[in-house]
Amino acid sequence: MSRRVRRRDGALATRIAPALERIADGAFAQRAFTCRLWDGSELPATVGATGPPLRLHVRSPRALAHVLQEPNQLGLSRAWVSGDLDLDGDLAQLLAACSGYAEVRIGARDRARIALLARSLDALPRHAPAPPPAEARLERGPSSPRWAHDAIRRHHEPPASFQRLLLGPSLVDSCAYYASERDTLEEAQERKLDLICRKLVLAPGERFLDVGCGWGTLLLHAARRFGVQAVGITLSESQAQEVRRRVRDAGLEYEVEVRVADYRDVGDGPFDKIASTGMCEQIARDQLPTYARTLRSLLCPGGLVLNDGVTRLRPGERAETSFLSRYVVPDGELHAISSVLAAFEQAGLEIRDVEALREHGPLTLRAWTRNLARHRAAAIAAAGAERERVWRLYLAAAKLAFERGEIGVFQTVATRVGAPHALPLTRFAPRRAPAPRRRGPAVQDSTRRR
């Protein structure tokens, strides 16, 4: 008997350990974490780990059944979200320790061995376990406002109470902008809002459109600090209700309007300035040209648009079996920044500025992870255990992808040609003093210059 296995009569670990040595040349026998099985026996770590000890809990044979049904990222995601897999330790550290398994190739003989092992462990039920309710089950079809509405409703299903626990008081759900690692999340998010408004050179009285306005913080900041007449659109009714409440509480009913609408259905342009933050990654690849053309059509000649979004930095295709596709952004896709820039240029927008913000991603995700850990019980009460586990895994996986240079964040500023733009000669506009409050409808005359 191997001394690496804590033995007891009939212990699962003593049956699994020899099988792992024979599968894929022993690749899965190399572990930087302890694996505790549902009978209480353990497979100890076999290689040195970087960081604190990790203990992975396989709480039920359903975890193996999920992976055998979908032997990929989706099967592991289902086991995690359902709670059949759990962890003592840092989730991002575990993902890093397991990343090498993605390169392991399993042949026909290995698959047969795995099937025999699973059958002996009662992990091959007659009926495959159902996916967790949190998994998106959208039937893929032509991308449309209706399809987008269903996908966004899934992504923004957690209530505002959950998002406030996760995101903090600012309720900004995109990457913050840090001056140093000592900044608080709120300081960095305030800096991010100000950066967007200064890059757009917002001025009092201008019509400002926020595409995918989230929880409305940019709308409030732009109206209060820069005096614009702001319109925000979202496909989430719960978001819109929360934003309207925040607008009323701020006394900005005449300056800010919120609509439940798809970006393709906005019919009262043009706008002087447009921001789209965290929206581009929710656009499918075949809709990227439509997205760019629509933004151009909603913009005045000489107007400015800022696109802020997560992009992929390595070649790759959208996988329908990925955790991101099934649990986070069902209708979305991470684009290369070159694809975004090409779509904007082909739509008739002139690229004026591109800034990479990848290093700010892990700092933001680290702060959100601390928030979620600090308020886990309240988050589960607000949105349910599955949704909390989805976000815990998403934060850890995204942080690791940022740190490895697999994904990034880019801010792109472009203008619609045909009239002079308001950009200064230097890269950033000077900080504006708070504009005087104006009273008037948020939606102004739509017959302005086109």
Query: Which pLDDT tens digit goes with each residue over 336-361?
Result: 999 999 999 999 999 999 999 999 99
Give the pLDDT confidence of 242-255 residue by residue, as tens digits: 999 999 999 999 99
**pLDDT in the model for residue 150:** 57
Predicted pLDDT at 6: 42
Confidence of residue 158 (pLDDT cuts 50, 70, 90): confident
Other CB atoms within a 10 A radius of the CB of residue 442 amount to: 21
The C-alpha angle with vertex 296 and arms to 286 and 239, in degrees rounded to 5, equals 75
- For residue 154, name the pLDDT band (cuts at 50, 70, 90): low
- What are the two backbone dihedrals, phi and then psi, of residue 34, each rounded to the nearest 5 degrees? -85, 140
Confidence band (pLDDT; 50, 70, 90) for 450?
very low
DSSP 89: S
User: Rounded to an integer, what distance in angstroms lies between the CA atom of residue 12 and that of residue 36?
Assistant: 10
Mean pLDDT along residues 297-314: 96
What residues does each domain of the chain span?
A: 12-120, 145-416
The whole-number pLDDT of residue 411 equals 97
> Of the candidates 156, 153, 183, 189, which has an alpha carbon nearest to the alpha carbon of residue 170?
189
CATH architecture of the region 145-416? 3-Layer(aba) Sandwich (3.40)
What is the pLDDT at residue 177?
98
CB 268 within 8 Å of CB 233: no
d(CA 190, CA 358): 18
pLDDT at 306: 98
Average pLDDT over residues 391-408: 95
User: What was the pLDDT predicted at 201?
Assistant: 96
pLDDT in tens, 31-44: 999 999 999 999 99
At 417, is the pLDDT very low, low, confident or very high (cuts 50, 70, 90)? very high
> Which ranges of 227-336 does DSSP label H, i.e. alpha helix?
237-250, 288-297, 323
Write down the pLDDT at residue 324: 86
In angstroms, the CA 211 to CA 196 distance is: 13
CA atoms within 13 A on the CB side of 92: 18
**Of 343, 291, 336, 288, which Cα lies nearest the Cα of 310?**
336
Range 96-109 average pLDDT: 84
Neighbouring residues of 35: CB distance < 8 A, sequence distance ≥ 6:
13, 42, 43, 55, 56, 58
Kindly tell me if the per-residue pLDDT of 211 is higher than 70: yes
Average pLDDT, the chain: 88
Given pLDDT bands bounded at 50, 70 and 90, which one contains residue 178? Answer: very high
- Residue 423's pLDDT is 93
Looking at residue 427, what is its pLDDT? 81
Per-residue pLDDT band at 87 (split at 50, 70, 90):
very high
Strand order, beta sheet including 42-43? 42-43, 34-36, 55-58, 85-88
- The pLDDT value recorded for residue 123 is 78
Close Cβ partners of 179 (under 8 Å, ≥ 6 residues apart): 187, 188, 191
Q: Which residue has the higher pLDDT, 321 or 116?
A: 116
With a cut of 60, say whether residue 364 has pLDDT above it: yes
